[in-house]
């Protein structure tokens, strides 16, 4: 009996399987930018095969109505017609893996609804998952527009400052006003913020905000701008800022300012001065006058007399209230330089000269002395010690006021050094010239006062001279033909002394060498004269040479005679003279200037050949 009961229970357990259900999982939220593609994944778990399973997709309208847009089973797939998603959806997956994906293309704002994934099983029942689709649109860059007219501080109620606007955003953007980086909040009777929201035909939002504020004078330098905040995918909030604007604030003047517009810096005589005057009101008064000792002045090429107090008066055109300001105008000057001694200063050579240069000025001055463009001294006193002719020249005194560019004055001093002549360029005083050749001589000297040049020669002649002066150097020159050796003297003198230079001029000499033959018994002198012109000086020289040769011949004869007698070196008369004839011969060589001919004569009168 018991065994039969147990068998029945086992059969029931097999024939009556336990109940089961379909489990469906979907994302709670999917975010996407407008115009992009959205994908919603549906995961489900079921023990039943795909053959007995149906998958359907629905969406819930904003009125709460549930509408089917898609269905599929093992034998068919179907997209519902005449819905807002008909042409833009597709489903991936057969469900065999437990996953299907709904894809929505070109998402729009109106697609922001709740989607339902419904899975039906023949034996396990039904399961569903719900997903909210969130759509976002980045708005256009915000704009700001300030009022174009001025705002008076005398207005009793808040005045319009400007308007900010941001277009085509989703969800709705938010506008916040800022002043100098500080957010503005509404304040009764002082700050008013008026927003307005527009929904475009596309479903996007455009937001506009107007700021009104009661202004004060200090607002003239304030900067106003708007910040736009808007949500974006991923749960973040993004921000954009407009450009910054200023407003024009009208307020009455309380003071007047005066200044020199040009020239910049210190003013000197001769400048053209541009004075400006402005009150601190906005807008500035149209009735402004500049007065100087109660008179209007045109400040062109000012003089020092134009300096003094200047006043500017501003008159309010509404109340005719006057506000004034003033300034003191200083005109700087530099008078012409005065040099002492004036004109030309004279100093004796070796002595000292002092000169002074001054210029009256309203500013501190600097004095420099220049010669030939080079600075040689600073200070208003110039001291020239141990004067030489190099000291002479023109000295420029430059007085400048360094505080003002190009403000300077000049003075001139000419220095003359008194002294005796000094010869310069003593070269080429030894000259050689041919007879009848013209010679040019010059003599240069430095001196003051102007020296006198006198040219003389060693034979007592006075030569005609030409003189010139260049840069303090006096030069005299002469020109004459040369006939013979001569000495020329250049004498330079003035009241302080004398100097001289001597020129020695030589003419070349043409001489002949006589040939003389001397023996113990006779003396023969042969002279071959050169062809051409004989001069008196050459004849004297030739005569002297002949006399010398004769004396040598006589001396040779005497020596030879004593030798023969044995009176020299202990020799006796018995010695053989013949053997020594060649050794003791006295030979005289005579040459002609023209033929270069030479003759050798022995003591016995025979010609001998010329040997090396």
Q: Give the total residue count for the chain.
A: 612
Cβ-contact 496, 420 below 8 angstroms: yes
- pTM of the entire predicted model: 0.49
- pLDDT for the residue 4: 32
Q: Domain boundary at 417, 452, 485, which?
A: 417
208 and 268 together in one domain: no
27 and 132 together in one domain: yes
For residue 208, give its domain range: 143-250
Domain membership flag for residue 181: yes
- pLDDT for the residue 17: 38
- pLDDT for the residue 500: 93
Higher pLDDT, 15 or 179: 179
598 and 582 together in one domain: yes
Of residues 221, 151, 210, the one with CA closest to residue 184? 210
Locus of tokens 């040049």: 453
| 467-481 residue pLDDT tens | 999 888 999 999 999
Q: How far is CA 310 from CA 274, 316, 327, 534, in A?
A: 12, 20, 5, 106
Distance CA 261, CA 242 (A): 37
Distance CA 445, CA 437 (A): 27
Phi-psi sector, 374: left (phi>0), alpha (psi -120 to 50), beta: beta
Cβ-contact 415, 391 below 8 angstroms: yes
pLDDT > 60? residue 102: yes
CATH at 392? 2.60.40.10
Q: Considering its fold, how many domains does the chain have in total?
A: 6
| DSSP notation for 167-191 | EEEBS--EEEEEETTEE---BTTTE
- pLDDT for the residue 611: 39
542 pLDDT tier (thresholds 50, 70, 90)? low
pLDDT > 60? residue 515: no
293 pLDDT tier (thresholds 50, 70, 90)? low
- Among 6-10, 78-82, 227-231, which is the least confidently predicted range? 6-10
Domain membership flag for residue 9: no
Distance CA 108, CA 212 (A): 37
Domain membership flag for residue 13: no
Share of the chain above pLDDT 70, in %: 81
356 and 448 together in one domain: no
27 and 130 together in one domain: yes
Domain membership flag for residue 350: yes
Phi and psi of 318, rounded to 5°? -90, -50
Of residues 260, 330, 321, 250, the one with CA closest to residue 290? 260
Distance CA 292, CA 529 (A): 112
361 and 324 together in one domain: no
- pLDDT for the residue 530: 34
For residue 145 the two structure tokens come to 């527009």
Domain membership flag for residue 11: no
Distance CA 294, CA 331 (A): 19
SS (HEC) of 12-64: HHHHCCCCCCCEEEECCEEEEECCCCEEEEEEEECCCCHHHEEEEEEEECCCC
544 pLDDT tier (thresholds 50, 70, 90)? low
Q: Domain boundary at 285, 300, 329, which?
A: 329
Distance CA 214, CA 158 (A): 4
370 and 313 together in one domain: no
Domain membership flag for residue 10: no
501 and 520 together in one domain: no
For residue 548 the two structure tokens come to 């010398």
37 and 110 together in one domain: yes
Domain membership flag for residue 148: yes
pLDDT > 70? residue 588: no
Of residues 365, 361, 394, 391, the one with CA closest to residue 378? 365
For residue 191 the two structure tokens come to 């700050």
| 60-80 residue pLDDT tens | 998 999 999 999 988 899 999
- pLDDT for the residue 511: 56
pLDDT > 50? residue 570: no
Give strand pairing partners of 268. 332
Pairing of strands 53-60, 38-45: unpaired
Of residues 131, 241, 228, 104, the one with CA closest to residue 171? 228
Task: Specify which of 124-138, 296-310, 591-605 reaches the highest per-range mean pLDDT.
Answer: 124-138
Work out the average pLDDT over 567-591.
Answer: 40
Higher pLDDT, 155 or 229: 229
Of residues 159, 157, 246, the one with CA closest to residue 210? 159
Q: How many Å from the N-terminal Cα to the C-terminal Cα in the chain?
A: 184
Q: Domain boundary at 136, 158, 188, which?
A: 136
The secondary structure element, H or E, covering residue 396 is: strand 393-400
Domain membership flag for residue 325: yes
Share of the chain above pLDDT 90, in %: 57
Higher pLDDT, 299 or 577: 299
- pLDDT for the residue 321: 83
486 and 526 together in one domain: no
Q: How far is CA 438 from CA 291, 297, 430, 448, 479, in A?
A: 86, 80, 15, 32, 7
Of residues 534, 538, 436, 439, the one with CA closest to residue 483? 436
- pLDDT for the residue 292: 64
Mean of per-residue pLDDT scores for the chain: 82
83 and 28 together in one domain: yes
| 140-164 residue pLDDT tens | 999 999 999 999 998 889 999 999 9
493 and 536 together in one domain: no
Of residues 315, 345, 336, 495, the one with CA closest to residue 420? 495
């Amino acid at each position: 009996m018991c065994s039969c009961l147990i068998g029945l229970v086992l059969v029931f357990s097999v024939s009556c399987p336990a109940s089961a259900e379909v489990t469906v999982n979907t994302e709670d939220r999917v975010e996407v930018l407008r115009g992009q593609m959205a994908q919603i994944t549906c995961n489900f778990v079921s023990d039943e095969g795909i053959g007995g399973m149906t998958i359907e997709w629905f969406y819930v309208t904003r009125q709460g109505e549930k509408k089917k847009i898609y269905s599929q089973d093992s034998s068919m797939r179907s997209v519902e017609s005449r819905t807002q998603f008909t042409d833009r959806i597709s489903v991936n997956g057969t469900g065999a893996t437990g996953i299907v994906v709904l894809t929505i293309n070109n998402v729009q704002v109106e697609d922001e609804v709740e989607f339902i994934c419904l899975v039906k099983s023949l034996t396990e029942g039904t399961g569903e998952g719900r997903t909210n689709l969130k759509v976002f649109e980045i708005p256009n860059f915000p704009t700001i527009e300030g009022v174009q007219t001025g705002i008076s501080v005398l207005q009793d109620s808040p005045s319009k400052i400007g308007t900010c606007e941001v277009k085509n955003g989703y969800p709705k953007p938010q506008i916040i006003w800022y002043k100098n980086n500080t957010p503005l909040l509404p304040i009764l009777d002082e700050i008013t913020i008026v927003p307005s929201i527009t929904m475009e035909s596309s479903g996007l939002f455009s937001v506009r905000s107007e700021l009104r504020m009661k202004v004060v004078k200090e607002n003239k330098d304030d900067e106003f701008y708007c910040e736009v905040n808007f949500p974006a995918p991923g749960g973040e909030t993004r921000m954009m800022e407009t450009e910054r604007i200023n407003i024009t604030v009208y307020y009455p003047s309380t003071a007047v300012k005066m200044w020199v517009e040009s020239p910049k810096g210190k003013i000197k005589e001769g400048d053209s001065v541009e004075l400006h005057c402005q009150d601190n009101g906005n807008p500035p008064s149209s009735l402004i006058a500049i007065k100087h000792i109660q008179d209007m002045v045109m400040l062109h090429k000012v003089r020092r007399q134009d300096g003094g107090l200047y006043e500017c008066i501003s008159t309010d055109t509404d109340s005719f209230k006057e506000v004034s300001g003033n300034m003191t105008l200083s005109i700087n000057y530099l008078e012409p330089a005065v040099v002492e001694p004036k004109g030309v200063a004279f100093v004796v050579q070796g002595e000292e000269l002092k000169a002074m240069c001054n210029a009256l000025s309203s500013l501190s001055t600097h004095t420099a002395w220049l010669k030939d463009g080079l600075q040689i001294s600073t200070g208003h006193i110039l001291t020239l010690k141990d004067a030489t002719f190099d000291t002479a020249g023109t000295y420029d005194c430059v007085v400048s006021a360094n505080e003002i560019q190009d403000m300077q004055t000049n003075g001139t001093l000419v220095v003359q050094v008194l002294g005796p002549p000094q010869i310069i360029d003593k070269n080429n005083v030894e000259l050689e010239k041919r007879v009848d050749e013209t010679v040019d001589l010059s003599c240069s000297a430095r001196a003051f006062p102007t020296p006198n040049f006198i040219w003389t020669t060693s034979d007592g002649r006075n030569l005609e001279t030409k003189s010139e002066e260049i840069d303090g150097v006096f030069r005299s020159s002469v020109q004459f033909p040369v006939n013979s050796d001569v000495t020329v003297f250049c004498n330079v003198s003035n009241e302080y002394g004398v100097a001289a230079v001597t020129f020695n001029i030589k003419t070349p000499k043409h001489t002949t060498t006589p040939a003389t033959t001397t023996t113990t018994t006779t003396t023969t002198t042969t002279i071959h004269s050169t062809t051409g012109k004989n001069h008196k000086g050459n004849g004297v020289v030739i005569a002297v040479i002949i006399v010398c040769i004769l004396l040598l011949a006589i001396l040779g004869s005497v020596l030879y005679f004593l030798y023969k007698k044995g009176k020299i070196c202990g020799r006796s008369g018995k010695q053989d003279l013949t053997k020594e004839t060649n050794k003791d011969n006295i030979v005289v060589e005579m040459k002609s200037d023209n033929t270069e001919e030479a003759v050798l004569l022995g003591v016995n009168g025979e010609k001998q050949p010329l040997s090396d």
